[in-house]
Amino acid sequence: MSRLSRYWPLSPAIELPSILLASIICLIMAGVSFPVAAQSSESLTINQDSCLKCHKRNGAMFGLHANTALAIQCQSCHEQSGKHPRKGSSIRRFSSGSMTSVAEQTGTCLGCHDHETLAMSDWTHNVHADKVNCASCHQLHVEYDPIVGITAKDRSQLCRGCHLVK
Amino acid sequence: MDISKRQFLTGCGTLIAGFSIYSVAKELAESEAGVSVDQTQTIKYAMVHDENLCIGCNACEQACRQVNHVPDGVSRVVINRTGPFGEYPDQSYRFSRKSCQHCEDAPCVKVCPTGAAYIDQDTGIVGVNSDKCVGCQYCIAACPYQVRFINPETKTADKCDFCKETQLKQGKEPACVEACPTHALVFGNIRDPKSELVKTLKSKPTYRAKTDLGTRPKLFHVSTIDGEIVL
């Protein structure tokens, strides 16, 4: 009898292992929790923010950064609204075409994310450093950042998007 | 006519000495001229990898894999990355292409017991005839550039053949060259003075790997200028 089959309720005579198996499955199911997906997006603290009263059209905040435990607010990244909306705003916008300088955009992310840790996850962080804004590759409002788990081929194509010499 | 014994022997000795000196001299001249380089060959393919233009995106490897149906786990071309050099945020990496050098005096061809490894006489491309290959791996051991591998699907030796069987047959450039977004790879006929390859070789300083082995490789590299002397 193999080691596995000892825990497999093939024979009805073996009562105890079958109970064990069921309980193990229950434990595993309870253990696998989805910290973000478990809550509906509206119930996340960040989506109760006053900004969202007007900015609903921009979509709600999902993903890891919306985790209530992190206590991140819109202002944590986009800065204080100031006189907005009565007067023009100077909030940070994270995109390649943004008025916010690339150094300021990357500086915001690097406030929490250590560049050495980033280098360990991918070498391209080192070369792009403060010269390319993070939003060129990353999205953090969506539930899952599409760059995580990208295929090798898509990754090469992403490089091509900027580096293509005509 | 009266020839003395002495005269006869002197004559024979001179003849033998002259013939032996001629044959030795001829052999020396042949070896100095190099091993049978076919000067009439009109096509001799080569490649340049500009390490300054390379960004390490691996698009070449992906394209090669797709076009030549290279299975996962092995690759015909690898871009080796070293670094980072410098201090954050001004860091850089160096990239080096590792693939078949298409040697004119290829050790893999010399050791192949079945004739599966061959140099194509029309193009100078080092190829593998997988029908003849028995998978003995002599070529893998012999290759000084360590670019050969056993294809897990065909169980035969495999390596870059400049897309001889795929892209070149369709009149296209090799897949890696087409895929490179920065034009870091230049492929062409080294015999054609008007080709982009020859122009690149004339305008940029290049090096080749392990030339001291006398393999006469045809994969040229433009060395990373970062951290080097500027010409």
State the best of A132, A150, A153, A164 to mutate against chain B, taking most chain B CBs within 10 Å. A153
DSSP annotation of A115 reads: H
Cβ pair B59, A157 in contact under 8 A = yes
Domain boundaries, chain A: 1-32, 41-163
pLDDT, tens digit, 9 for 90 and up, residues B95-154: 999 999 999 999 999 999 999 999 999 999 999 999 999 999 999 999 999 999 999 999
Set of chain B residues whose Cβ sits within 8 Å of the Cβ of A130: 89
The answer, yes or no, to whether residue B30 has pLDDT greater than 80, is: no
**Is the Cβ of A77 closer than 8 Å to some Cβ of chain B?**
no
Q: What is the CATH number of the domain that holds B203?
A: 3.30.70.20
Could B88 and A126 be called an inter-chain contact, meaning their C-beta atoms sit closer than 8 Å?
A: yes
Measure the CA angle with vertex B164, ends B162 and B167; round to 5°: 90
Whole-number Å distance between alpha carbons of B158 and B130: 8
Distance in angstroms (rounded) separating the CA atoms of residues A99 and A95: 9
**Domain total in chain B:** 1
- Please give the ipTM for the structure prediction: 0.75
Amino acid at B84: P
Instruction: Note the pLDDT tens digit of each residue in B80-89.
Output: 999 899 998 8
B218 is a domain residue: yes
Task: Give the residue from chain B lying closest to A107, CA to CA.
Answer: B89
> pLDDT at position B28, please?
73
Q: CA distances (Å), B46 to each of B30, B105, B147, in order?
A: 26, 14, 16
In a domain? residue B194: yes
B85: DSSP letter: E
Residue B27 lies in a domain: no
- Domain boundaries, position B197: 45-222
Cα torsion A4, A8, A13, A14: sign: positive
Report in angstroms the alpha-carbon separations of B5 from A28, B13, B19, B170. Answer: 110, 12, 22, 74
Q: What is the pLDDT of residue A21?
A: 57
Q: Comparing A80-89, B169-178, B186-195, B198-207, which segment has the lowest mean pLDDT?
A: A80-89
Q: How confident is the model at residue B33 (pLDDT cuts 50, 70, 90)?
A: low
Inspect the interface and report whether the beta carbons of A127 and B57 lie closer than 8 Å: no
E strand residue ranges, chain B: 45-50, 78-85, 92-98, 117-119, 126-128, 149-150, 157-158, 185-189, 206-207, 219-222
